[in-house]
Structure 1
């Protein structure tokens, strides 16, 4: 057993081997391969528990999540697996791999929240296990599973694993591709570079060729920084089979969609992959922000391990280890290149930086054995305390903003769970620091990971309370109970209430569509049956129900429809009207 592994396993930081009575009775338990497999099995069980816990306890969230789930439902109904549709119209914002997976899960388990989100849960498990496996092969960390455990207990992974969105699948594939590339270069391995290419080719089917662009930037920077590896890099990237594995999936899909809809491939590549990040995409339905937009988000997404990463890096600068320098340099490139690209991009979303987390987890796991040394006890204490203090500081700042009127409460009635969460974080942090002072470092590190528990419970609590505001499930159940079989229409906005067709089980026509996500389909089929004028809506009949979002009320009152409807109820951010004439 290596000395650094003994340090990790020892409860008091001693580097002297500790053979328990059980270990003497079961000597096979000390076998490194078997020991790693047992730890990996335990981590798999833990990740499954975390990833699947409570997935079906709240409705499909309007917006991004509902778009993927509804697209999968329509794909199963229509049998069109080449071009995804949304409300019956072509929808080409992303390649269809994630939608295919949701459709596959729904065909097996039926349309439900759990089935839809199971794809993300399985991607989370794959991400955690693959990160641990690559950590073992790269010689990162002491136990091999530390990187996976760090990743599993990071706030960003915990949040993103609870919604049906493709970003964790992309993160798992992209992280595996980067690690496979590093292994291919180290060993001049044809199998590894072909595996890298195949995985990266699959990643392009999640979010498009931008994935290849990010990878090329990382590989190019590595080629420039690591001059001793240039011949190895050139040797592996010349493999023609790797190029074929990389390019074939996206090429086949682009040909398929262009045969079905001429011009679709050009639209997808130019509008969705290039103009989006230049701020020129039409429609302009994405966030923008300064170059510092992602700094606080990266801190929050990697909580509570960000202190280990930062202070571990500082210690490594003073206590360099030449044997680890190459891998660390490559992993830092895997963090800073995506981070810089998205920071400079004109299109921003909170969750984009989740792509950086696997490399950050590997780095934190690599720095952790150094921080566990006796000489670095004080620095490790700072690594634990600093993120918690910063989070408490952010909460205090928000309290001041609320008291001064510069911010609003999420809910009109506060139930006191946020102060309870902050108190829980403070207690766990104090216990962690106390364990460090008594020399129980292994327990302290595990306790640090436990900081995610109160945050995860608070997130679930907020989502449950906010469901009427964030999901169409409540209103859809009301409609199906009170007005069975009645036609339902949406006014102007589709994506803000995108979960409604999921729960009604059919597409919902939109009156005077202003929807950004239906833009492409509307341009191709301006007179589609799902796109109604005011006259067509009035001609639907007196039992027809119309759903109007709060921010569309002013526009609705200016229409002729408003004179022929009566208000039924308001649920969350939507009001339900019924045509009475």
Structure 2
């Protein structure tokens, strides 16, 4: 279901274009510890996901397939872990239900089919959950605890929130203190617990150790990178987000009702059942439910929110719901035998619809408009340098010729493009329509295509209206793919 249509899909949003481009640029320039985007340092995310994509590119020689393989791997591992945990905690039947319910949850489908970090992060999250559950609920099993700590370390260098499984220790500590059943007390093991932190730090050091050496011997740019990635893009972004700002209740009102289907529809029966289990001091339910609540609270407290942020909570939620499914079926259908048949048919149709959608979507989406635009630009200009203005990642990923830019977030890129064309009259510039007339004569511009954000025009030095007289740019970045995407 997750892999349906693999090979037909191509990068269609800015995240997928960005991460595939960064991975391909790593392979081209060999800068593995400091990622780049069109020659400029890319400091928004740690590099582990891009490493994984680059590895699959090397193995498959098919970039548009390699982009989706990390999430496909994560989906397979998550499904297997949920089956095994359900089997060990409640029985084989519950394990099967947990695996199927995870695949049937809409957010699983929507995240794991994309070429984004959150799908790959699910791999480390579920390994953290699995290892901690084997230790806290089925242990003691210190080797599983250390595996969970290592997974959290690798999760952190995939995305800063990779530490989230550690929050499971909070409800576990409460359950042990209050003597709840279903949890394993481990008194007098402080050194063994703290060793887990060292294991997590060792995993983080796989990237951070070489990075610090590079920064120590490197340039001011590498120092700026480490300051950006370790502070602004983690704690700073959480405390005061500058994009995707949403109210506290965003996940509860706009995400969960849709993306946690079908589980959301069952909450009127699930919530009272969980309450009864908690009144019976079931530590398994407390640890898992407590962790889901803490994850929701953690992301709700940040001003920046996206629907995919709460996906890490889904595996634990599935483990909470799966043991109650047989009870729900008996409650709903004990006097309506045909109801079970209807439920089974609806389940097959639900899963089948997602599988079919995987083949339909690529045909419905068509060709990435950036690929079309860059192909047309290459046809019109040959191999001439192309200056990018207010560009998106798709322009860089699908570029067929050398490109020039003044920083992805450059505020004066339009004015500086005019200055560049004056000294490089053989070059051209790709400019969005909304800014065109400020520096160029629209009558001398050629329309080359449209994306969801803008209409794009190609201009040469002859289109310069001489109205823009900027100072020389602080930095000029040049980049060219050795092997452009076909």
For the superposition of Structure 1 and Structure 2, which TM-score range results when normalised by the shorter chain?
A: 0.7 to 0.9
Provide the C-alpha distance between the structure 1 equivalents of 2:196 and 2:30, rounded to a whole number of angstroms. Answer: 32
**Aligned CA distance change for structure 1 residues 230 and 145 (closer, same or farther; 3 Å):** closer
Match in the other structure for 1:426: none
**Alignment pair present for 1:170 and 2:121:** yes
Aligned positions, number: 447
Residue pair 2:255, 2:307 contacting (<8 A) in 1 also? yes
Provide the C-alpha distance between the structure 2 equivalents of 1:506 and 1:135, rounded to a whole number of angstroms. Answer: 53
Structure 2: runs of 5 or more not aligned: 215-221, 463-486
Residue pair 2:112, 2:119 contacting (<8 A) in 1 also? yes
Provide the C-alpha distance between the structure 2 equivalents of 1:254 and 1:507, rounded to a whole number of angstroms. Answer: 32
Instruction: Give RMSD over aligned pairs.
Output: 3.3
Match in the other structure for 1:219: 169
Deviation at 1:506, TM superposition (A): 6.7
- Of 491, 500, 513, which aligns to 2:395? 500
Deviation at 1:465, TM superposition (A): 4.1
Match in the other structure for 1:348: 305
**Aligned CA distance change for structure 1 residues 233 and 144 (closer, same or farther; 3 Å):** farther
**Aligned CA distance change for structure 1 residues 480 and 452 (closer, same or farther; 3 Å):** farther
Deviation at 1:165, TM superposition (A): 0.5
Provide the C-alpha distance between the structure 2 equivalents of 1:540 and 1:163, rounded to a whole number of angstroms. Answer: 40
Provide the C-alpha distance between the structure 1 equivalents of 2:294 and 2:300, rounded to a whole number of angstroms. Answer: 10
Residue pair 1:565, 1:580 contacting (<8 A) in 2 also? no
**Aligned CA distance change for structure 1 residues 92 and 105 (closer, same or farther; 3 Å):** same
Taking the TM superposition and a 5 Å limit, the aligned residue runs for 1:115-154 are 115-139=66-90, 142-154=93-105
Match in the other structure for 1:192: 144
Provide the C-alpha distance between the structure 2 equivalents of 1:111 and 1:480, rounded to a whole number of angstroms. Answer: 23
- Post-superposition CA distance 1:101-159 (Å, at most 9, x none): 10011122224322211222222222222221222222267252211111112111111
Match in the other structure for 1:293: 250
Match in the other structure for 1:390: none
Deviation at 1:194, TM superposition (A): 1.2
Deviation at 1:334, TM superposition (A): 2.4
Deviation at 1:225, TM superposition (A): 4.3
Residue pair 1:313, 1:367 contacting (<8 A) in 2 also? no
Deviation at 1:576, TM superposition (A): 3.1
**Alignment pair present for 1:554 and 2:430:** no
Taking the TM superposition and a 5 Å limit, the aligned residue runs for 1:41-190 are 50-139=1-90, 142-186=93-137, 187-190=139-142
Match in the other structure for 1:235: 189
Provide the C-alpha distance between the structure 2 equivalents of 1:236 and 1:368, rounded to a whole number of angstroms. Answer: 38
**Aligned CA distance change for structure 1 residues 460 and 160 (closer, same or farther; 3 Å):** farther
What secondary structure, in the 3-state scheme, does the structure 2 residue paired with 1:576 have?
A: strand
Residue pair 1:166, 1:206 contacting (<8 A) in 2 also? yes
Provide the C-alpha distance between the structure 1 equivalents of 2:125 and 2:39, rounded to a whole number of angstroms. Answer: 31
What secondary structure, in the 3-state scheme, does the structure 1 residue paired with 2:448 have?
A: strand
Match in the other structure for 2:457: 576
What secondary structure, in the 3-state scheme, does the structure 1 residue paired with 2:189 have?
A: helix
Residue pair 2:172, 2:283 contacting (<8 A) in 1 also? no
Provide the C-alpha distance between the structure 1 equivalents of 2:188 and 2:258, rounded to a whole number of angstroms. Answer: 38
What secondary structure, in the 3-state scheme, does the structure 1 residue paired with 2:445 have?
A: strand
Match in the other structure for 2:266: 308
What secondary structure, in the 3-state scheme, does the structure 1 residue paired with 2:403 have?
A: coil
- Post-superposition CA distance 1:183-208 (Å, at most 9, x none): 21232211111111121122112112
Provide the C-alpha distance between the structure 1 equivalents of 2:212 and 2:230, rounded to a whole number of angstroms. Answer: 12
Q: TM-score, normalised by structure 1?
A: 0.69
- Post-superposition CA distance 1:75-108 (Å, at most 9, x none): 0000111111111111122111100010011122
